[in-house]
Amino acid sequence: MKVRVAHLYPDYLNIYADRGNIAVFERRAALRGHSLEVTAVAPGDQLKAATFDLVYVGGGQDREQALVAPDLERRGGDLRAAVENGTAVLAVCGGYQLLGRGYRGRDGSWLPGAGLFPLETVAGEQRLIGDVLLKVTLDGTTTTVAGFENHAGRTLLDPNAVPFGRVLAGHGNDGSTGFEGCRVAGAIGTYLHGPLLPRNPVLADWLLSWALEHAGGDAVLEQLGDELEHQAHAVSASRARSRGGR
């Protein structure tokens, strides 16, 4: 199968090698005989999100977020309809914040968002930085997800929102609720950089199988050995644990 990926704002939102997540999708798809067709989307570009199987957006500084926020707000309806229609989404940190209703920066300015995730973000004084370990349940499978966070934003989930995971070590959405990220159907938002997917093969395959299903293919993926991936996960997880919880 050919998996169609829309990579939003790669020239603006791409810190901590976030674009490495695309390379992981490419590699894991290829190991199962599938291919990726990646379309870079810049502000103002035409995009019908529902024609894509996966939408990806990385993280970025407040300045870059301010440059893309109005464009992302305009795409809100299109992105929400695509997710309702089965398109998968992975949004990291600054991209995650702007897929909520918006982000209030430290200077008080409001950056409008796409309103895909039921949440808002407000920048705090102190940045929340360090290794993170989460407990995550995806379609009945409980696993851990490991990564790195660096954000001023405190993300407040609406009461009916579904968090992506529970914080075992690190700060997460706001450093106090113990929740991290948000999930709506096949759309995952998270603060975890790294890049995230090389050390989290279970999550990478979950998103890939969701995208393959949308592409009309078989969502069941042949298991890979993933020795290196599991080692990277273990190292990242032990670094997070050594922080001794939140």
Which of 52, 65, 74 shows the shortest CA–CA distance to 186?
Answer: 52
Q: How far apart are CA 187 and CA 164, in angstroms?
A: 10
Question: Per rule CB under 6 A, is residue 174 in the interface with ligand GLN?
Answer: no
The catalytic position among 7, 34, 93, 151 is: 93
**Smallest gap from residue 203 Cβ to ligand GLN (A):** 18
**Smallest gap from residue 6 Cβ to ligand GLN (A):** 19
Contacts of 228 by beta carbon, 8 Å cutoff, 6+ apart: none
Question: Per rule CB under 6 A, is residue 65 in the interface with ligand GLN?
Answer: yes
Among 53, 62, 71, 229, binds ligand GLN (CB under 6 A): 62
- How many amino acids of this chain bind ligand GLN (CB under 6 A)? 13
Residues from 123 through 162 that contact ligand GLN (CB under 6 A): 150-153
CB of 54 or CB of 122, closer to ligand GLN: 122
Q: How far apart are CA 65 and CA 45, in angstroms?
A: 17
Q: Which structure tokens are listed for 58?
A: 């990385």
Q: How far apart are CA 45 and CA 25, in angstroms?
A: 23
Token pair 């999930």: residue: 183
Annotation marks residue 193 as catalytic: yes
| Binding positions for ligand GLN, rule: CB under 6 A | 15, 59-62, 65, 93-94, 97, 150-153
